[in-house]
Amino acid sequence: MSVINVGQAAVLGVVEGLTEFLPVSSTGHLKITEGLMGIPVDDDAVVGFSAVIQVGAIAAVLLYFFKDIVRIVSAWGRGLVNKEERYHHDYKFAWWVIYATIPIVIVGLAAKPLIEGPLASLWVVAASLIVGSGVMWAADQMGRHKRGEDDTTFKDAMLVGGSQILALLFPGFSRSGATMSTALILDLDRVAATRLSFFLGIPALTGAGLYELKDALGTGVGAVPLAVGTIVSFVVAYASIAWLLKFVAKHSFNAFVVYRLLVGVLLLGLLSMGALSS
């Protein structure tokens, strides 16, 4: 029997779609939801399932930003064959995304036993939610929000891309939260920080999903639950992306900070009382 049934897969798809790009930690919310449903969070098949349904969320990003992606990839392709095109910002940006993905790939492969073992604990998730909240609040206060997307540099991309490692090692910190916070510290405005987080997440999350596919299919998760979770994730993520970009254009990240703190404290309480297994 599959360790995750179709109903559970649909619920996890909703959670993944809602939280993948919001700075609240999709991994943390998935682990909490899995724990509440009695699903073993450290099972190889469950870890693989969580990674694969991220591809649904990534597909939503690809669709939502299709025109931007075509523009950037086209500029990159032209620059490969035409030296004059290499001065175009989109050409440079394409390379920056590639370079900025390398650190998380190296750490992800090297630290895989830790990431799927001790660091998968819900205690780590709770602590990371709380600590990450403080980082996000400080970043939003410190940032001067004066630089737009066209002002991004190679340094910005590498620092923001490298910050994804925090979420990789400490589930609960949030990949979106780490990247957006870093971008804000670098004085990007909230919309630019959010869009940069989206673009940098595409190769990292897609690669993780494809890498984990064999574990999800081969060690206890059926094809039907996997398909359901991925499709639901795609639909919900698309709506989530559209909402987030509108929200950050007019609001600070304070609502996410408060929400993360509440979830982190609640999770610590549930773990301390034994209501959830770490």
pLDDT tens for residues 196-255? 999 998 888 788 777 766 666 665 677 888 899 999 999 999 999 999 999 999 999 999
Lookup: tokens for 117 = 């073992």
**Could you report how far apart the first and last alpha carbons of the chain are, in Å?**
24
pLDDT, tens digit (0-9, with 9 covering 90-100), for 46-85: 877 887 888 898 899 999 999 999 999 999 999 999 999 9
Alpha-helical regions (H) of the chain: 6-19, 26-36, 44-64, 66-81, 89-110, 112-115, 122-142, 154-162, 164-169, 175-185, 190-218, 223-248, 254-272
Please tell me the predicted confidence (pLDDT) of residue 126: 92
Dist CA 212 CA 225 (whole Å): 15
Q: Are 74 and 136 in contact (CB under 8 A)?
A: no
Lookup: tokens for 100 = 């900025």
Q: What percent of the chain has pLDDT over 70?
A: 95
Please tell me the predicted confidence (pLDDT) of residue 218: 62
Dist CA 140 CA 180 (whole Å): 9
Dist CA 8 CA 225 (whole Å): 8
Write the burial class of residue 84 (CB in 10 Å: 0-12 exposed, 13-18 middle, 19+ buried). exposed
The answer to whether the pTM exceeds 0.85 is yes
